[in-house]
Amino acid sequence: MIDLVIDVLSWILLILGGSCVLIGGVGGLRLPNFYTRIHASSLTDTMGNILIFLGLMLQAGFTLATLKLFAVMLFLLLTGPTATYALANAALLSGIKPDTGSTNDDNTEESPK
């Protein structure tokens, strides 16, 4: 009975992790500028890694493989956000300006005719 609960919980974590990664990929395609794209992909990549590795650790049980999975997860959790920061910093230094966040929904500007 406990094996069934562990398997169900593991598959739930794996499916949620895969969904996070998929949502991050869609966000990378749909979001308007560079900084929002890397923000979405970084957040969902980190959360997807956590959920997928937790699901794999539950599947592996208490073995040496679990310790190795934990080490890989820790490495990815340290390097993923660091790489995103380095990418954003390089983009900023190369002249790509972040969006100010203001929108023009009221259409007060005259459009050229």
∠ CA 16-20-89, nearest 5°, is 150
pLDDT digits (tens, 9 = 90+) for 33-74: 999 999 998 999 999 999 999 999 999 999 999 999 999 999
Is residue 33 within 8 A of residue 99, CB to CB? The reply is: yes
CA–CA gap between residue 51 and residue 13 (Å, rounded): 5
**Confidence class for position 99, pLDDT limits 50, 70, 90:** confident
Query: What's the Cα-to-Cα distance from 99 to each of 8, 15, 24, rounded to whole Å?
Result: 43, 34, 20
Place of tokens 């934990």: 70
- Higher pLDDT, residue 109 or 79: 79
Confidence of residue 24 (pLDDT cuts 50, 70, 90): very high
Q: Are 66 and 60 in contact (CB under 8 A)?
A: yes
Q: Tell me the mean pLDDT in the region 23-32.
A: 91
**Report field, pTM of the whole predicted structure over 0.85:** no
